[in-house]
Structure 1
Amino acid sequence: MKKIVVGLAVVLGFCTCAHQPSGTLDVNKALDYCAKQTQRTLTELKTDSGIDYTMMPRNIMADEQHWNCRKATKEEWCAGFWPGVLWYDYEYTKDKQVLEEAENFTHSLKFLSHIPAYDHDLGFLVFCSYGNGYRLTKNPAYKQVILDTADTLATLFNPIVGTILSWPREVEPRNWPHNTIMDNMINLEMLFWAAKNGGNPYLYDIAVSHADKTMKSQFRPDYTSYHVAVYDTITGNLIKGVTHQGYADSTMWARGQAWAIYGYTVVYRETKDPKYLDFAQKVTDVYLDRLPEDKVPYWDFDDPSIPNAPRDASAGAVVASALLELSTYLPNGTGKRYKDAAIEMLTSLSSDSYQSGESKPSFLLHSVGHWPNHSEIDASIIYADYYYIEALLRLKRLQEGYGVLG
């Protein structure tokens, strides 16, 4: 198995860099690069009949130069990231054309606020798009879409289990009566926001319950996470922890741990309960302790083919963004350590080893979507770009003396 994977790494050109981050990160230069790449993508999306605002950039494979787009449907969990990239780019550039395009792409997701929940990804879909849009424009129509979608997401909450059901479609074929994946932690932010912005206060309770049960059941004693927790719907007890996108049930899948770091940072922000701050540090430290020298993780920390396994820039970007926020909640010593780690991550991601440069209109190379499914391996993926530009904007705010959140 190991020899096969090593050979595949050579064939596909996986980044197996082992160097330390070098140079000084110029945040404005990195954001200018993102702005340039955003314009390249907008140009690429234009046809003779204009732009189809329902088609969202999703990925560019290693041997490709152009975006593969997917229709914005309830099944396409990544559809909110491209509108989110546009909102972040507008926040930096103040370019009115980018604003207009952000509005157009965001509008294509309004339907999600008035249909039944397909799965848990509504936070990714709507808060990355409409959430950033409302933050920057205060458009009341955007607020209503967020509130309505939060109510829809809440319909997947099972009070017996105490968490939000992630994948209704996997209940029967996999015999996963109530399944919750670590990615679901990111959707709690929309529930917290809705609860304090005119939505049902119960949404706050759902988010806290989900965070608590996940903290209790979805982590191993060393604070590494299971991708999926399977619960009994009668007792609410954990049946088992398994993986779906990681190397094995017992391994630390990089992006899953990244979601945990980001998610519990948000839960602390919204509750100010110190137990979440402590837990966020524990799930962070086990991640940081096992990083390679350039601070960009292998797709799974326990892949036996390391150091010839592919990296996952998307996980690196998620964690960099999370740590910049987490650093602001901690005393100088610990906070500085997390902030410095985030800067090292962004320095690597902003290097020629990870930026797409002239080769593609994406921001970053070397992400892994779904290794077990042989899908999006060593690709540019839109959510890597989203969290990369988010992290850069957060760092810029910190450097300018503002809070990490816009």
Structure 2
Amino acid sequence: MRNTYIKSVSHFVLVLAFVFGFTFFFACKSKNENKTQDTQINLDELLHARYAKLLHYELDSMAFPRSFSNDDKVIKKVPSKDWCSGFFPGNLWQIYKLTGNEAFKKRAQQWTTFVEKEKFNDRTHDMGFKVFCSFGQGLSVNPNNQDYKDIIVKSAQTLSTRFDENIGSIRSWDHHADIWQFPVIIDNMMNLELLFEATKISGDSLYHNIAVKHANTTMKNHFRTDDSTWHVLDYDTITGQVRARVTHQGFDDNSAWARGQGWAINGYTMAYRYTKDERFLNRAVATANFFINHKNLPKDGIPYWDFDNPDIPNVSRDASAAAIVASGLVELYGYTNNEDYLKYSKKVISTLKSQEYILPKEVDIPFVLDHSFGDWSKRSEMDEPIVYGDYYFLETLLKLKKLD
């Protein structure tokens, strides 16, 4: 009888333990799930609070917001001739796509209008950044807007005047004429989208052909054997040959400047989209692999501003470089089915959608993210909110949304 009693009590205790443990497990699981869900809701609320800061920024055709000094607490404002002017209206267009809020569309139209005069500016290679990031985004929302189409084509005509047939490239800068004869920077790959689109709109193959020639010349001369890229190449205007391979914004001439790698990855992925030239796809893949497999890339996916800075890890990260690469790799995943590319892009978005990178609600400036890195050569915009960091972050969100 005693043994039977003990067995009954033991069985009862085990049942209680199981029930309690089962209940405790699911209570904890539910609590953790709710905590994760609450955190996500809070971050989404914070993100939408940041969007509102862009919407309420005062209209001023001479004051496109470019960056914010965390030290001086001052917004850097620029006119439309600045290479960054197109990003702010582009951000508004993209927020409209993400939210469907007509107020952002209206504001985007107003800011985009301020960029139009740049279609005549032949003193810059950044026509794509300025015009296509604004009017191009607008055209994707309003595909029958003939005015936007005409502005894009006229801008492409203007940009084409900077192309040199002998060299096979579009000239980047006109400054430092005492040092460089014909400088071409890797960033220039991003401006080719304007030319490709101008051919689609107009039917004139001139713009497409110039874009392809520039991409070919850059692919031939701009890359190292490890698949990283130099920032600046200087060409001889007589012979068309390379005079020098240097940097202007990287740590030194032989370092891998993080944002430059992003321009290359994104630029050649885009070039493949328009041409289906396998060489462009292979170029994007090789540099993407260099980037995501680099020994100095932190686990959260946000690179140091230069992969070869000797002070790593005690140097600034660059959220903008991460976003540029993430945007390119979502598209590159679509062409290659390489899960590593999609995994990287999602990891970057997960990192950037955190309180470490999203600016607090109470900070009243027209930006979304902190911790982008600007120009080392001028010691400016280092570890600050910068408008193009927001642009490629939003672009990546849209690409992932479309993919899902």
Q: TM-score, normalised by structure 2?
A: 0.86
Q: Residue type matched to 2:340 in 1?
A: R
Contact 2:230/2:245 (CA < 8 Å) preserved in 1? yes
> RMSD of the alignment, in Å?
1.9
Rounded Cα–Cα distance in structure 2 between residues aligned with 1:354 and 1:90: 22
| Among 137, 140, 146, the residue aligned to 2:142 | 137
The yes-or-no answer on 1:203 pairing with 2:216 is no
Residue of structure 2 in register with 1:41 after alignment: 54
Residue of structure 2 in register with 1:340 after alignment: 343
Residue of structure 1 in register with 2:64 after alignment: 56
| Among 268, 272, 276, the residue aligned to 1:272 | 276
Rounded Cα–Cα distance in structure 2 between residues aligned with 1:31 and 1:325: 24
Change (3 A) 1:173 1:32: farther
Residue of structure 1 in register with 2:218 after alignment: 214
Percent of residue pairs identical: 40
Rounded Cα–Cα distance in structure 1 between residues aligned with 2:260 and 2:122: 22
Residue of structure 2 in register with 1:6 after alignment: none
Q: Residue type matched to 1:342 in 2?
A: S
Residue of structure 1 in register with 2:393 after alignment: 388
Change (3 A) 1:367 1:327: same
Report how many aligned residue pairs link the two structures.
364
Q: CA deviation at 1:54?
A: 3.5
Contact 2:368/2:390 (CA < 8 Å) preserved in 1? yes
| Among 152, 162, 168, the residue aligned to 2:168 | 162
Q: Which runs of 5+ in 1 are unaligned?
A: 1-22, 400-406
Q: Residue type matched to 1:305 in 2?
A: D
Q: Highest Rg: 1 or 2?
A: 2
Structure 1 residues 261-290: Cα deviation after superposition (integer angstroms, max 9, x where no partner): 000000111111111111111011111112
**What secondary structure does 1:358 align onto?**
coil
**What secondary structure does 1:377 align onto?**
strand
Residue of structure 1 in register with 2:6 after alignment: none
**Higher normalized contact order (CA 8 Å, seq sep 6+, divided by chain length):** 1
Rounded Cα–Cα distance in structure 2 between residues aligned with 1:267 and 1:140: 25
Q: Residue type matched to 1:293 in 2?
A: K
Q: CA deviation at 1:258?
A: 0.4
Contact 1:313/1:366 (CA < 8 Å) preserved in 2? yes
Residue of structure 1 in register with 2:229 after alignment: 225
Contact 1:30/1:392 (CA < 8 Å) preserved in 2? no
Change (3 A) 1:108 1:265: same
Q: CA deviation at 1:130?
A: 0.2
Contact 2:125/2:191 (CA < 8 Å) preserved in 1? yes
Q: CA deviation at 1:219?
A: 0.8
* Range with greater deviation from structure 2 (88-97 or 314-323): 88-97
Rounded Cα–Cα distance in structure 1 between residues aligned with 2:157 and 2:61: 26
Q: Which runs of 5+ in 2 are unaligned?
A: 1-35
The yes-or-no answer on 1:302 pairing with 2:308 is yes
Change (3 A) 1:31 1:83: farther
Residue of structure 1 in register with 2:318 after alignment: 312
Structure 1 residues 373-400: Cα deviation after superposition (integer angstroms, max 9, x where no partner): 110011100000010011011111111x
